[in-house]
Amino acid sequence: SPVAIIIRNIGIMAHIDAGKTTTTERMLYYAGYTRALGDVDDGDTVTDFMAQERERGITIQSAAVTFDWKNHRINLIDTPGHVDFTVEVERSLRVLDGAVAVFDASAGVEAQTLTVWRQADEHRVPRICFLNKMDKPGASFCYSVDSIKKKLKVKPLLLQLPIGAGRTFTGVIDLVTSEKVIWGPKTSDGDGAVFNRHPLVTADGPNLLKEARDARYALIEQVADLDDEFAELALRELCENIEAVPAEKLNAAIRRITLSHAAVPVLCGSALKNKGVQLLMDAISMYLPSPNEGQHDFKQWYGDDLCALAFKVLHDKQRGPIVFVRIYSGSMKPQSAVYNINKNCMERMSRLLLPFADQQIEIPSLQAGNIALLVGLKQTATGDTIVSSKASAAVASQRAAKDSGKKCDQNREQENLVLAGVEIPEPVFFCTIEPPSLAKQADLDRALICLQREDPSLKVKIDPDSGQTILCGMGELHIDIIHDRIKREYKIETHLGPLQVAYRETISISASSADTLDRTVGSKRNLITAELSVRPWLGEGPVTKPLIEFSDVLQEQLSTEILDAVENGLNTSFLQGPLLNFPLQDVVVTLESLHVHPGTSMPMISACVSRCLQKALRRAGSQVLEPVMNLEITVDEDHLSVVLADLAQRRGSVQEIQSRQDNRVVLACVPLAEMMGYSTTLRTLASGMATFTLELSRYEAMTSQEQKMLFNKMTGVM
Ligand SMILES: Nc1nc2c(ncn2[C@@H]2O[C@H](COP(=O)(O)OP(=O)(O)OP(=O)(O)O)[C@@H](O)[C@H]2O)c(=O)[nH]1
């Protein structure tokens, strides 16, 4: 049997344009999986396989590519570098065990790096830094190392020194092995992969030797400082000549230090000029964790049973939906049935594939720790948990409940079983979307179904009054990208209405109403009389479904199908408040009486109850609620005041200002309506070095003045 493959599930994360795609390209080339060296510039890279990624040069889909390097299988996930795609980055980091942070060595730490770096911290993902673009004029190893220290607040472990910089960059000194590594010029067949190592010799000149020796000594001291096992070894065996420490001992200590987050190895190179990437691949193998070293607490509950997370869904023209999964425990094989916990349904997987660059290789089975593509799943969407059967899900849940000592009731079981799947935040922006002609409406609906399965943070609704299709998304760029994808991938030119904030409505007082519906259809008479009352829900919220109570005399009289019809009717009116058609929340509905003429159809009951609820809501003092966001801004000291002054203009309220080393972190609450275009404004205000994260905190009642202004704006009453 083949030698046991050691697996590395690695993310590549970086600021926009730092060289992620080019670096990935080169790895695939050196691992022998791509024919020619694709360059991002001439847009034939295998991982930017979505058209607009070439056009925009940004990476939207976190594609997965697998390749083997020496006796390691490396699953590489590319992550987007855009703040609107936090949920996408979250999703990828959730699946990974380690990450490579790619920097432009002429720019050091840039804004987007800070954002993804903090997310990687949150998910405890061990990292390596790769200072790319060392060939660029203005590239500076020292400046970049300094920037990493100062802005990312981490201790860099310098494993290499560059030889030359800018145009003179030819290779590196490998401080672990005390060797010079030089990459030859691109050979005639374009094979830029040739490099050779040789020990440092006196011919390399006294200052290079001295620089290398000092740097290696500093590295050894730093490692001894951070790793007790190595310190003892150094004391015990090497006290007279610490520089004699063998490379494998040093590497073992560097691995322990990386896995414990005590420091971060730093390498350098130039992906474009084919220098340094092979050593980066060696570092991924040597220092980043195996799947079983990654801490995923839910794994313990599944034992050797299958447990996998769907982290991406792509629609392939020929094969239909392809689901990317990370297998945490157990194994998978084709032609097998699996159980999707989130959708509570069995799925049949027809084929099991490995994403080898731009091909997909059929495989007979796959062990835990791997990333794979499944063909044939019909319901599974991004973020869903796949296990072997409903029974195994129940067993895991009982174990989990016992662990957490909680009693195990039915619905709670459901929630604690879902893997730490990415909880999808509520969409907070929406806009109408129209096809170029009614004839294209069906195509648009199909496209939107596919897009929602690929991106669960996108929600699509139909406005029951206007019949218009409504897109709900996480941010301005998010909606824009969806619009672009519909055009490019589904060839549908759509028109987007103005981007609006998703408000909500509630009521401020109690009210009641009665309604009679008397309609004869054909020979059937539908006659219903309903009476109901509404009152504000003052308990734990938000409750986005009607809280339905029945006057006690009524409950046992109504059949289940009538109860369902009543619930449907109430839910319909709940989606459209009486003031501005926004969804309702925190309303209790009491059905006082209901008289149904025999033979009345259920939809008629729903219609009557729905109309009755609307009447009551109109009398119950509509109150508009606006989304208030938790805003966290990380900014350096001397831009703090301008950022705070700007927040004051946005009805923002500062909760706290923390100091995270020499950065200041502002925690504030701001109405979303005041945050349109904030990423651009903040970039100007803090000259590109501040980052922010935005997430929905709660819905808050607007003042009557603000509500009136909104009402006038929305209804066009000037
Ligand atoms: N000089 C130089 N340019 C590089 C290097 N690596 C990448 N580039 C160039 O930098 C630009 C961006 O490279 P990409 O690989 O697309 O960077 P990226 O991080 O994938 O970009 P996004 O996916 O859009 O965030 C391209 O024009 C590359 O040719 C390098 O080592 N040296």
Write the single-letter amino acid at 669: C
Does the beta carbon of 135 sit less than 6 angstroms from any atom of ligand 1?
yes
Residue 356 CB contacts under 8 Å (≥ 6 apart), including other chains: 33, 65, 66, 67
Ligand 1 center to residue 49 CA distance, Å?
A: 16
CB 539 within 8 A of CB 585: no
Ligand 1 atom nearest residue 48's Cα: 23
Does the beta carbon of 22 sit less than 6 angstroms from any atom of ligand 1?
yes
* Residue whose CA lies nearest to ligand 1 atom number 12: 17
Q: Using CB atoms within 10 Å of the CB of residue 214, give its burial: 0 to 12 exposed, 13 to 18 middle, 19+ buried.
A: exposed
* Residue whose CA lies nearest to ligand 1 atom number 11: 17
- Closest among 438, 430, 440 to 473, alpha carbons compared: 430
Ligand 1 center to residue 179 CA distance, Å?
A: 28
Ligand 1 center to residue 400 CA distance, Å?
A: 45
Enter the tokens of residue 144: 């970049």
Annotated binding site for GTP: 14-21, 78-82, 132-135
DSSP three-state, residue 278: helix
Residue at token pair 């058609």 = 581
Does the beta carbon of 271 sit less than 6 angstroms from any atom of ligand 1?
yes
Domains 298-416 and 429-502 share a fold: no
Ligand 1 center to residue 270 CA distance, Å?
A: 10
Ligand 1 center to residue 275 CA distance, Å?
A: 14
Laid out side by side, the sheet with 359-362 consists of 345-349, 336-340, 385-387, 307-316, 320-329, 371-375, 351-356, 359-362
Q: DSSP E strands: which ranges in 443-571?
A: 459-462, 469-473, 495-496, 500-501, 504-507, 511-521, 524-536, 547-550
* Residue whose CA lies nearest to ligand 1 atom number 13: 19
Largest CA distance in the chain: 106
Does the beta carbon of 136 sit less than 6 angstroms from any atom of ligand 1?
yes
Ligand 1 center to residue 550 CA distance, Å?
A: 63
CB 691 within 8 A of CB 619: no
Ligand 1 atom nearest residue 24's Cα: 15
- Closest among 628, 587, 623 to 708, alpha carbons compared: 623
Annotated binding site: 14-21, 78-82, 132-135
673-704 exposure pattern, b = at least 16 Cβ within 10 A, e = fewer: bbbeebbeebeebbeebbbbebebeebeebee
Q: What is the pTM of this model?
A: 0.75
Fold of domain 624-715:
Alpha-Beta Plaits (3.30.70)
Q: What is the pLDDT of residues 292-338, one digit of tens each?
A: 887 777 778 888 899 999 988 887 777 778 898 999 999 998 899 99
Ligand 1 center to residue 40 CA distance, Å?
A: 7
pLDDT given at position 408: 46
* Residue whose CA lies nearest to ligand 1 atom number 9: 19
Ligand 1 atom nearest residue 270's Cα: 31
- Closest among 633, 554, 630, 618 to 587, alpha carbons compared: 618
Does the beta carbon of 592 sit less than 6 angstroms from any atom of ligand 1?
no
ipTM: 0.98
Ligand 1 center to residue 661 CA distance, Å?
A: 31
DSSP three-state, residue 119: helix
Ligand 1 center to residue 573 CA distance, Å?
A: 51
Ligand 1 site-directed mutation target among 15, 21, 268, most atoms within 8 Å of CB: 21
Fold of domain 429-502:
Alpha-Beta Plaits (3.30.70)
* Residue whose CA lies nearest to ligand 1 atom number 21: 17
CB 507 within 8 A of CB 621: yes
Does the beta carbon of 610 sit less than 6 angstroms from any atom of ligand 1?
no
CATH of span 506-620: 3.30.230.10
Distance CA 708, CA 143 (A): 54
Residue 411 CB contacts under 8 Å (≥ 6 apart), including other chains: none
Enter the tokens of residue 416: 């604690």
* Residue whose CA lies nearest to ligand 1 atom number 6: 19
* Residue whose CA lies nearest to ligand 1 atom number 2: 133
Q: What is the pLDDT of residues 337-358, one digit of tens each?
A: 999 988 889 999 998 888 776 5
- Closest among 348, 354, 367 to 307, alpha carbons compared: 367
| Other Cβ atoms within 10 Å of 411 Cβ, number | 6
Fold of domain 298-416:
Elongation Factor Tu (Ef-tu); domain 3 (2.40.30)
Cis peptide preceding 542, ω within 30 of 0: yes
* Residue whose CA lies nearest to ligand 1 atom number 25: 16
Does the beta carbon of 382 sit less than 6 angstroms from any atom of ligand 1?
no
Ligand 1 site-directed mutation target among 24, 40, 83, most atoms within 8 Å of CB: 40
pLDDT given at position 268: 97
Rounded to 5°, angle at Cα 100 from 659 and 452 = 90
- Closest among 11, 17, 256 to 123, alpha carbons compared: 11
Does the beta carbon of 16 sit less than 6 angstroms from any atom of ligand 1?
yes
Superfamily of 6-287 according to CATH: P-loop containing nucleotide triphosphate hydrolases (3.40.50.300)
Q: What is the pLDDT of residues 231-248, one digit of tens each?
A: 998 887 766 677 788 899
Ligand 1 center to residue 66 CA distance, Å?
A: 21
Ligand 1 center to residue 38 CA distance, Å?
A: 12
Ligand 1 atom nearest residue 136's Cα: 1
Ligand 1 center to residue 113 CA distance, Å?
A: 15
CB 359 within 8 A of CB 282: no
Distance CA 685, CA 676 (A): 15
Beta strands 127-132 and 264-268 are: parallel
Ligand 1 center to residue 41 CA distance, Å?
A: 8
pLDDT given at position 37: 47
Does the beta carbon of 166 sit less than 6 angstroms from any atom of ligand 1?
no
Does the beta carbon of 165 sit less than 6 angstroms from any atom of ligand 1?
no
* Residue whose CA lies nearest to ligand 1 atom number 24: 58
Quote the crossing angle between the two packed helices 640-648 and 678-685, to the nearest 10°: 140
Query: Would you list the domain boundaries of the chain?
Result: 6-287, 298-416, 429-502, 506-620, 624-715
Does the beta carbon of 662 sit less than 6 angstroms from any atom of ligand 1?
no
Low pLDDT (below 70) residues in the chain: 1-4, 33-63, 78-89, 111, 186-193, 238-240, 357-359, 405-423, 661, 717-718
Distance CA 384, CA 668 (A): 32
Residue 122 CB contacts under 8 Å (≥ 6 apart), including other chains: none
